[in-house]
Amino acid sequence: MHNKSVAELSRELESGKISSVELTQQFLDRLKQEDSKYNSFITVTEEQALADAQAADAQRAAGNATPWTGIPFAHKDIFCTNGVRTTCGSKMLENFVPPYDATVTDNFRKAGAVCLGKTNMDEFAMGSSNESSHFGAVTNPWGLSKGEKRVPGGSSGGSAAAVAARLVPAATATDTGGSIRQPAALCGVTGLKPTYGRVSRYGMIAFASSLDQGGAIARTAEDNALMLNVMAGFDPKDSTSLDRAVPDYTATLNEPLKGLRIGLPKEYFSDQLSPAMEEQIRAAVREYEKLGATVKEVSLPNAKLAIAAYYVIAPAEASANLSRFDGVRYGYRCEDPKDLMDLYTRTRAEGFGTEVKRRILVGTYALSAGYFDAYYLKAQKVRRLIQQDFINAFKEVDVLMSPTTPSPAFALGEKTNDPVTMYLEDIFTIAINLAGVPAMSVPAGFVDGLPVGLQIIGDYFSEARLLNAAHQFQQVTDWHQREPQ
């Protein structure tokens, strides 16, 4: 059962071949046996999961089921879960148990899905390798058979590794600068970052509020569509949520691609990309041409400025958002503070990890008097130029395609001492968050035995088109079905 997709498991449950309790127990047993190799989960909610599975079976018996009723899955540990600790991968929230559900959590609960637990992540979603978690690094399932320990990507590395290792069929994730697409690419699974505002951020612990977006990681594009059907929609509790009708994302998956106009941004096929990676991406694009798509080169002239702009805007917003963790209201508090200043400084020094401290310092500096105009304001102007590049490109083409990452998964520890090299891992993903457009990563081959991701980028609210393009590609290739040894 662990090798079946969400869509297949839903049909098995519908036909009565297996019960949700049996299915949930199978995945829980597998999790207990296997996850010591990957460290993909922070919290496993066994008792709650089995109780929810029992309720799901009763719901199905009463003829009151959705496609998700009784399906096991996992939440990234950034979504608040009522009564279940939500750590955000940080010592600061190690013992935080929210008294409410995030909207995304609530949506899956109402759909009858069975949450097995909370997946590991970079601390406060800050990282590209899932090595900054207070609960230890996550190991990519790929490469382990050869004795190699490689990163799963970040910050949603736990979700991607758990899906790749077949510990869960699907998991929620979030994407601020590539945190869904990059781990999906490195772990050989399918990940979708929707348009900014398409999925509610209420109850999703904030990193950078104008960039964060909830999304999905699963093995197939069809499963991503099923997830987005549950996640998307207007939420009055989130001021950035957009009030637009939500289509059935599975309805257009099988439409033919004849006439689809694909743009290849020339800036993303530069010397930063290895020849082996480029060959895999171009081979994937040739498959699209066989399916009837046309291909042309386009330009995103301001793409080279994306990393510089992002690493001013994101830390600035993080600095503001993380100021709430002061040891006064909730979260970690230092022991025996001498006075209020000692409480603040020691709580934050002890509670935050190195990468989070680095970003808070950079962000606070960028927002400080005398530097605000020089850095933050300038970065926002550059952001507007980047957004305009995408708007112009989509006047010529329907979707853009590029590599998701510049290289396959690198070794654990290889880049932890060089933050700039680590930040460059997001070179092909960050501009999409700055512009707010949707994008996904689809398995598209291997280099040195490690997965390669094809990034498909769309215009605002074109998730259905992206999912259709990804699904059609997965009908003629089997990269998404390959599993780690």
Strand order in the sheet with 170-175: 41-44, 114-119, 72-76, 170-175, 213-218, 190-193, 439-447, 450-458, 399-403, 261-265, 294-298
111 touches 227 (CB < 8 A): no
C-alpha span between 367 and 292 (Å, rounded): 49
C-alpha closest to that of 222 among 472, 15, 484, 16: 472
- 155 catalytic per annotation: yes
B/e letters for 230-254, b = 16+ CB within 10 Å, e = fewer, are: bbbbebeebeebbeeeeeebbeebe
User: Which residue among the candidates 132, 155, 200, 241 is catalytic per the annotation?
Assistant: 155
- Cα–Cα distance list, 127 to 175, 415, 474 (Å): 11, 11, 29
User: Which residue among the candidates 20, 40, 156, 179 is catalytic per the annotation?
Assistant: 179
Helix (H, G, I), strand (E, B) or coil at 399: strand
298 touches 393 (CB < 8 A): yes
C-alpha span between 72 and 44 (Å, rounded): 12
C-alpha span between 454 and 445 (Å, rounded): 9
C-alpha closest to that of 114 among 47, 40, 164, 16: 47
- 179 catalytic per annotation: yes
- 210 catalytic per annotation: no
The answer to whether the peptide bond before residue 402 is cis (omega within 30 degrees of 0) is no
C-alpha closest to that of 14 among 51, 52, 53, 68: 68
C-alpha span between 419 and 415 (Å, rounded): 7
C-alpha span between 406 and 281 (Å, rounded): 11
Measure CA 295 to chain center. 28
- Cα–Cα distance list, 257 to 189, 221, 419, 472 (Å): 22, 15, 41, 8
138 touches 152 (CB < 8 A): yes
Fill in the amino acid letter for 128.
Answer: S
C-alpha closest to that of 467 among 272, 300, 280, 250: 250
User: Which residue among the candidates 5, 10, 76, 402 is catalytic per the annotation?
Assistant: 76
DSSP structural state of residue 362 = H
| Active-site residue set | 76, 155, 179
